[in-house]
């Protein structure tokens, strides 16, 4: 009888220990599931912002200046049919039109450059902000280069809850 009591007494604490371990494991599982749900909600908007800002930056960087059409050059055949005096008048008019176009084009190009520089600065700031937000929340998600890129495998792992990494801010 004493042996049975001793055996029962020994099993009690073991059972309690097993129950504690199960409860702790269940708590960890719930926390991991909660973190997964938070990640699935928080990550997509951050990824969308990163993608949009990167696309916008690339778009502004790729812009090129397109000049307005220059005055049409004089037609040599038509010029030969004109009297010398008329040829000189047309040449003078063409030269004035060409000079006026060059002046307008110079101003237009300078304005375009200023405008592009301002848009480029805004695009760079917005992209830097989206990179910083992603790095704060999920540091392992981007490469550490000057032009950070998304690590697709890490994104998929986070969205699939393939392991709990950093917690979102």
Q: Can you give the pTM of this predicted structure?
A: 0.69
**Residue where the block lists tokens 């059972």:** 15
pLDDT per residue as tens digits for the range 112-163: 999 999 999 999 999 999 999 999 999 999 998 888 999 999 888 888 875 4
Give the separation between CA 22 and CA 18, rounded to whole angstroms.
Answer: 6
pLDDT per residue as tens digits for the range 84-119: 999 899 999 999 999 999 999 999 999 999 999 999
β-pair partners for 150: 142
């Amino acid at each position: 009888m004493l042996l049975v009591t001793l055996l029962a007494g020994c099993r009690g604490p073991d059972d309690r220990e097993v129950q504690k371990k199960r409860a702790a494991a269940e708590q960890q599982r719930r926390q991991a599931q909660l973190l997964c749900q938070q990640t699935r909600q928080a990550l997509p908007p951050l990824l969308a912002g990163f993608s949009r800002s990167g696309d916008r930056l690339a778009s502004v960087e790729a812009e090129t200046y397109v000049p307005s059409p220059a005055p049409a050059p004089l037609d040599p055949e038509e010029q030969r049919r004109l009297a010398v005096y008329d040829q000189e008048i047309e040449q003078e008019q063409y030269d004035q039109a060409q000079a006026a176009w060059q002046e307008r084009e110079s101003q237009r190009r300078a304005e375009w450059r200023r405008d592009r520089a301002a848009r480029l600065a805004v695009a760079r700031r917005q992209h830097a902000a989206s990179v910083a937000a992603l790095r704060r929340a999920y540091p392992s998600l981007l490469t550490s280069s000057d032009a950070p890129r998304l690590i697709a495998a890490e994104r998929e792992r986070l969205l699939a809850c393939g392991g709990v990494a950093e917690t979102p801010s």
